[in-house]
Amino acid sequence: MSRYILVPATGADSDAPVFATALAVARLLPAHLEFLHVRADVQETLTAMASADMGGGMGYGQLPESLEREVASRQKKAELAFRDFCEQERLLVSADPAAPLPSVEWRMETGDEPTWLALHGRAADMLVVGRARDGDAVGMDMLEAALMASGRPTLIAPSKAPRGLSGVVAIAWKDRPEAARAIAAADPFIRMAGQVIILSVVEEARGDERSCERLRHALSWQNPNTSVRCLKHADRPAVDTLLAAAADANADLLVMGGYGHSRLREVIFGGFTRHVLSHAELPVLMTH
């Protein structure tokens, strides 16, 4: 069961729903939350900008001071958001494993954010990350770090705080190893759910139905209130059919594998997966 969860604290306004989603998980399991802020290395940034000739109109002499102010401002904003969140939610700030859960701690590193996210993520049971940062899509390198480089399950938080995570759990089932790993990662949510719904967009009717029934039978030992819905997508994309079915079921959580082709970015961010990340209005638990 997940006991140690990593949460990026970026200093962006869009951290709020990520924090709220992580806390919902921590209270449900319960678990400990590590909030990680990665402070950019100004010298490394300057070197990268110089090599790419990205100085722009600002004089080079002014650039280090400007970047330092920006980095310090982001760090201060992240720390303040963390403190305010802990006070508002009355959370115990402690790094003691014997402390009552949920508990939280603050950690900071300096350097490349995706690299540190992956390094800390490998030691965690799960990561909770956002899909947007101050209105802009999160960089693909961040999602790659969470989903691929960490090797851990990643919960993609919605743009608004979730109402809960233990009501209806929807599983986007495809008879593939990626989906099987996602279900294994979702075990605690499946066990505590009021209802589990296996959603399968039918491609080969007989084979899909048999696969779904095998899964339903197995999961019923964890949660007897498990059912199957085989979906026909007709004249609209399969991913739209899936998301509509999850919405109709009032799902609190969508569980799915990361699908695609052989190239690194396509593995995680194939068209189906990318569409879910962009359009799903509920938390999405993914593995690769």
How many alpha carbons fall within 13 Å on the CB side of residue 224? 0
113-132 per-residue burial string, b: 16 or more CB within 10 A, e: under 16 = bbebbbbbbeebbbbbbbbb
User: Average pLDDT in the 86-104 region?
Assistant: 97
Considering just the CA atoms, what is the radius of gyration of the chain in Å? Answer: 20
CATH number at 4-156 = 3.40.50.620
Tell me what percent of the residues of the chain surpass a pLDDT of 90. 60
d(CA 162, CA 184): 22
Token representation of residue 259? 């699908």
User: Average pLDDT in the 52-72 region?
Assistant: 73
d(CA 284, CA 261): 21
d(CA 24, CA 21): 5
First to last CA, the chain: 18
Amino acid residing at 9: A
The CA angle 224-225-228, to the nearest 5 degrees, is 110
CATH number at 168-282 = 3.40.50.620
Token representation of residue 70? 């920006």
Q: Out of 52-61, 116-125, 192-201, which region has the weakest mean confidence (pLDDT)?
A: 52-61
Confidence check: pLDDT of 225 > 80: yes
User: Average pLDDT in the 141-149 region?
Assistant: 82
d(CA 127, CA 172): 20
Q: Out of 13-17, 163-167, 232-236, which region has the weakest mean confidence (pLDDT)?
A: 232-236
Fold identical between 4-156 and 168-282?
yes
More reliable by pLDDT, 36 or 279: 36
More reliable by pLDDT, 42 or 60: 42
Confidence check: pLDDT of 139 > 80: no
> Over the stretch 233-272, which tens digit does the pLDDT of each residue have?
777 788 888 999 999 999 999 999 875 444 445 444 556 6
CB atoms under 10 Å from CB of 193, counted, come to 23
For the chain, domain boundaries:
4-156, 168-282
